Chains A and B, each alone.
Chain A
Amino acid sequence: MRRSEQQTERVAAAALFGAVAACLLYAAELVLRPYAQALASGEAIPYFARLGRGFALGVVVFAIGLRVPQRVSLWALSHLRWTLGVPLLLCLFAAVIWR
């Protein structure tokens, strides 16, 4: 496989990893929000801070994803059910239950 093709798959897989990581952090904050409210002064985790943290994690995971071994990128792209479908389903579940 040519080097450019490897790089293409790395970038594509990294983009998916980044998006999924940002979704998962957002969902995790939804789940943890009631506990954070109880610990803090009853104020909800600010919406924009939640978005910002999710986006920042997505960028970090994207950068890390650019350096993962090629077999990981290939696996991520050929098993979208696990790398995209299942995490997103969990995120949707969190969004519906912990609105």
Chain B
Amino acid sequence: MAMNITLLLEKIHGHVALLTIALLLHPAVSLRAQRPLRRATRWSCYLGTIGALLTNAIGWAIYPDYRVALKSAIYALGTLYGDLFELKEHLAWYSLLLALAGGALTTQARSGRSPLNRALRLTYILSAVLMIVAASIGIALATLRGFGSVP
């Protein structure tokens, strides 16, 4: 039985997204109340940015197949579902851009307390929130239609 590569990528996409959410939330928690930027936080910032990039990259890789195999099937279930998927794509893009900005801020922020920490924390919080919403929509829609349900 041949392995369905697109389905595999879809699963990896979802799992990497959930890991990325955890990584993006770490700076939000560890930099609260003007706490200093530590090495572990710096690493979670970089990994969160890499995770966001990886999640989006896998999403872009399966997007052409989604347009062919799934888009019309999801819209056939109801316009709301199709529109929700489109919304998820937009939110994921905003989340990626914020994570990239956060990565750039991390390269500049000095260890310890820095005026940049507030901007850093806010950027990662916004990125995490957007990715949480996108992931929630993705999980909900995957229960209705996914590459596993395509013959």
Taking Cβ atoms with an 8 Å cutoff, the residues of A that contact B are 8-9, 11-12, 14-16, 18-19, 22-23, 26, 30, 47-48, 51, 54, 58, 62, 77-78, 80, 84, 88, 91-92, 95-96, 99
Contacts and interface: CB of A to CB of B under 8 A. Distances in A.
Contact of B116 (A12, A14, A18, A23): A12
7 pairs of A and B residues whose beta carbons are closest in the complex: A15-B104, A19-B101, A95-B90, A19-B97, A99-B83, A99-B86, A15-B101
Contact of B108 (A8, A18, A91): A8
Interface of B: 60, 63, 83, 86-87, 89-91, 93-94, 97-98, 100-101, 104-105, 107-110, 115-116, 118-119, 122-123, 126
Given A22-B97, A26-B94, A51-B60, 10 more contacts: A15-B105, A19-B101, A19-B123, A26-B90, A26-B93, A47-B89, A54-B93, A54-B97, A84-B119, A95-B90
Contacts of B107: 11
Interface centre among A30, A48, A95 (most CB of B within 10 A): A95
B87 A95 contact: yes
Given A11-B104, A80-B119, A48 B93 contact: no
B84 to A, nearest CB: 8
> Interface residues of A: mostly helix, strand, loop or mixed?
helix
A91 B96 CA distance: 14
Nearest to B93: A26
A67 to B, nearest CB: 16
Contacts of A80: 118-119, 122
A26 B97 CA distance: 11
B97 A16 contact: no
A62 B100 CA distance: 12
Interface centre among B94, B100, B122 (most CB of A within 10 A): B94
A62 B86 CA distance: 27
A19 B91 CA distance: 13
A77 B115 contact: yes
A30 B97 contact: no
B101 A95 contact: no
A2 to B, nearest CB: 12
B56 to A, nearest CB: 9
